[in-house]
Chains A and B, each alone.
Chain A
Amino acid sequence: MFEALLSARQLTKRFGGLAAVNEVSLDLWRDRIHAVIGPNGAGKSTLTNLLSGDLPPSSGQLTLCGIDITGWPAEQISRQGLGRSYQKTNIFLPFTVADNIQLAALSREAQQPWNPLRWLQQATQSSAANARASRALELSGLKDRRFLAAAALSHGEQRQLEIAMTLATEPEVLLLDEPLAGMGAAEAQRMIELLLQLKQDHAMLLVEHDMDAVFALADHLTVMVNGQVIASDTPAAIRANPHVQSAYLGEETA
């Protein structure tokens, strides 16, 4: 219970001579939302990609539930218990909402693509996957829209689907990349309530620009500028931190 579910130590990613992420360390704990903030180009998205395995680190170490996952590909990290949502909506547009979530839920079954039995079963017949899918569908609030094609959803609804798909893989650790991006006030409020609800069972990383949401949700804040962590503390301490004010919040109000 007191062990961090996800631990990053000195994670670095270099592109050519430039370090987009420079010696970043952080921990994610169950029942905690850890927000990462910073100006554009601070390296937040790159950091998320490093944590999810979308990018391999140049150096540093990554541990998930006690297992060293440094350098693992994204599909392996996902199966180990990590789920990630994307800033740019990354869903299956031609599929229905239900099919999107069903596919995500199916990822937890034994894979074996070469097994002819898997060719003859029907995707809707797995009760475990169906249970996972309906749970995620309920949480996302899209139950009434489930037979619509994802492309027909509003932007906010697509963001909800984005989260639902991440939830359907039943991860222990959630990495959420700007879940509130482009949402109106009402939709954002609903998303915030959902995130608070999810906090109980997951360790969560939240990358966000919406400062009201960040301070409402975060138990811990890490501030990144130019690839480096300049402060990592409770929200109250971060608010009072002069470095943060000048480097980031100061820029915001200017």
Chain B
Amino acid sequence: MSQTKANIEVLPRSVQLLLVLGLLALAAFPYVGTDFYLQTVTRMMILAIFAMSLDLLQGVTGLVSLGHAAYFGLAGYALAFLMPQNEAASLWLTLPLAVLASALAALVIGFFVVRTHGIYFIMVTMAFAQMVFYLFFDNHALGGSDGLYVNFKPSATLLGVQLFDLDNKTTFYYFTLGALLLVYGFLRRLLWSPFGRALAGIRINEHRMRAMGFATFGYKLSAFTLAGALAGLAGFLWGVQTGYINPELMGFHMSAHAVMMVILGGMGNFAGAIVGAFTFEYVLEVFKDLPQIGSINLGKHWQLWIGLFIVLVVLFAPRGLLGLTQRVVQGRGGPDV
């Protein structure tokens, strides 16, 4: 699928300002928010990492994956398997291994999936993710439909010294924020690397890339694997936070969630993925908390509202929220380039 639409890759001033303000707000939040909201915002940050990992694949490289949650959930399962019953395993062991597990799965599945194009790619990513889902769902040894518990938070002890305590919700909040910043910084840098430019080229015109001498299969597979690894990082954090992993984390709805977050924010610059994740989660919470009017419990029917919201987004803001800000700020009404 060649996309001739340009992504917003250079962030306009307004967006840069928004990001800085957002960072300040996130850094200050633990001092003003309640415990409950602390957990909510932590979860949003984890989903933002998940969304950014998909943005690398979908926004930058143009590969629309409906099975990205498989790598999210797999890392969570890796954590659950690595965590003993009666003491905490080391963070420095579990984190790399969990991410590696997701990366390996992405490499293997990617080998099959990356040779397809367009709508086939969409369908096979979904199919392979379902395969992974059923692998865990049907097998009691892997936890089955009930899932697995992560009994402890990983220990951050290094050389006998406890560096920090992930059991502390605020500490975990800042750990996640740190991960979010690291991933964002890494991906922004990658976007302007030779690798990143090649991925963007593949999105826009893969045929010409091959004619110019780029072995595009290798690039796409590398992007797929890296995106899987980063999704694994997010899944690991999710497992640490919730302490519970089940197959639904690898399912179609989770993958669809990721796709929507990325599109909602605006693709291809990673800032959109963060904005999209926070916005989508926030809107979801709002819909679920809608009050009862008369005899109708509006909140119960949140799926209807979110569905309508999504349809409205695709009708009126298909380039996402950042696309809207660009139009508003620069007053552009010209053709899409």
Contact = CB atoms under 8 A, between A and B. Distances in A.
A110 to B, nearest CB: 10
Contacts of B196: 119, 123
A131 to B, nearest CB: 15
Nearest to B190: A119
Interface in B150-167: none
Interface residues of A, number: 40
Interface stretch (B124-132, B201-209, B235-243): B201-209
B293 interface: no
B211 interface: yes
A123 B197 contact: yes
A79 B213 contact: yes
B104 to A, nearest CB: 13
A104 interface: yes
Contacts of A94: 4-7, 204, 337
B193 interface: yes
Interface in A15-47: none
Interface string A79-110: 10000101000111111000100111011110
Interface stretch (A70-78, A138-146, A214-222, A231-239): A70-78
Given A120-B190, A126-B194, A149-B6, A73 B210 contact: yes
B207 A90 contact: yes
Contacts of B212: 75, 78, 103-104, 107, 165, 169
B195 interface: yes
Contacts of B208: 86, 90-92, 165
B215 interface: yes
Interface stretch (B32-40, B216-224, B311-319): B216-224
B332 interface: no
A84 B216 CA distance: 18
How large, as a class, is the contact surface on chain B? 35 or more
B192 interface: yes
A114 B222 contact: yes
B216 A75 contact: yes
Given A119-B190, A123-B194, A126-B194, A90 B210 contact: no
A114 B215 CA distance: 12
* A-B CB proximity, top 5 nearest: A94-B6, A78-B213, A113-B222, A107-B213, A79-B213
Given A92-B205, A149-B337, A106 B211 contact: no
A187 interface: no
Contacts of A122: 189, 192-193
Contacts of A84: 211
Nearest to B107: A114
Interface string A49-83: 00010100000000000000000011110110000
Contacts of A102: 197
A83 to B, nearest CB: 8
Contacts of B214: 75, 107, 111
Nearest to B6: A94
Contact of B205 (A90, A123, A152): A90
Contact of A119 (B5, B7, B195, B207): B195
A39 B208 CA distance: 26
Given A78-B213, A119-B190, 14 more contacts: A90-B205, A94-B6, A94-B7, A94-B337, A111-B218, A113-B195, A113-B222, A113-B223, A122-B193, A123-B193, A124-B192, A149-B337, A151-B4, A152-B337
